Amino acid sequence: MILGKKVVVVMPAFNAEKTLRRTYGEIPFDIVDDVVLVDDGSSDQTLKVAQELNISHVVHPQNRGYGANQKTCYSEALKRGADIVIMVHPDYQYTPRLIPAMAGMIASGIYDVVLGSRILGKDAIKGGMPRYNYFANRVLTSMQNLLLRQNLSDFHSGYRAFSRKVLESIPFQSNSDDFLFDNQLLLQAIFRGCHLGEISCPTHYDEDTSSMSLGKSFKTAFQVTFLTFRFLFAKWGRKEKDQPLGTAIGKLNAK
């Protein structure tokens, strides 16, 4: 625990056999109370490694997608009484050694959501981040900052910490089962007035690191742009601060 808050790490896994041990080995268990791995229909030995490490796990018999994996992750964490939930990718793209800092920012009560930024340290490319990925990140993040009046350096980081209150207030189960889930969840948090913080995080990309293909990146970029404008239309159309989003916003609905 940290400041009396229970910390649960969730690991959305898909074919993470080669990197899971290294990632798990860096988790600071003086802070972390529980770890839950969700295996999304891996075709390698991810589940076997998780069992050998005695990691609590949930298995999707078939691959359901990155967003669907996160839905199970967060639901399981809440069931286990988490006050702070931190998502760590088991492909070792992000180091778990920053968990205490991220958890502390949430436990302080100052921030509701904390992102591990690959951009703040200016070493994303050196860390192996594909240039097309980096370029798309910079363009989309700049666009979203301008339109949403935010000042984040990395809107698309997968290293995230949430307070229990945030996850309980957002209907994330209605979000996409694919990569768009990350952006939907963040926009929902912004819509609800959550305080977002960032911490610089080195990134590590190699042949075992999960990354979207160029085609998938373009598709997701289009979806994120469309989603951002839907968000703005919903924000402008809301007459009262606590009024829920209209049905036209679909998966951005907040109750």
What is the per-residue pLDDT for 188?
Answer: 93
- Region 185-203: mean pLDDT is 93
CATH topology of domain 7-252: Spore Coat Polysaccharide Biosynthesis Protein SpsA; Chain A (3.90.550)
Q: Which of 96-100, 139-143, 155-159, 228-232 has the lowest mean pLDDT?
A: 228-232
Domain boundaries along the sequence of the chain: 7-252
Q: Helices 131-148 and 214-237, interaxial angle, to 10°? A: 0
> According to the model, what pLDDT value does residue 126 have?
75
User: How many Cβ atoms from other residues are within 10 Å of residue 75's Cβ?
Assistant: 17
200-242: per-residue pLDDT in tens?
998 877 766 555 666 777 788 888 898 998 888 877 775 434 4
Q: What number of CA atoms fall less than 13 Å from residue 37's CA on the CB side?
A: 27
Q: Of 103, 110, 143, 131, which Cα lies nearest the Cα of 1?
A: 103
pLDDT in tens, 80-113: 999 999 999 999 999 999 999 999 999 999 999 9
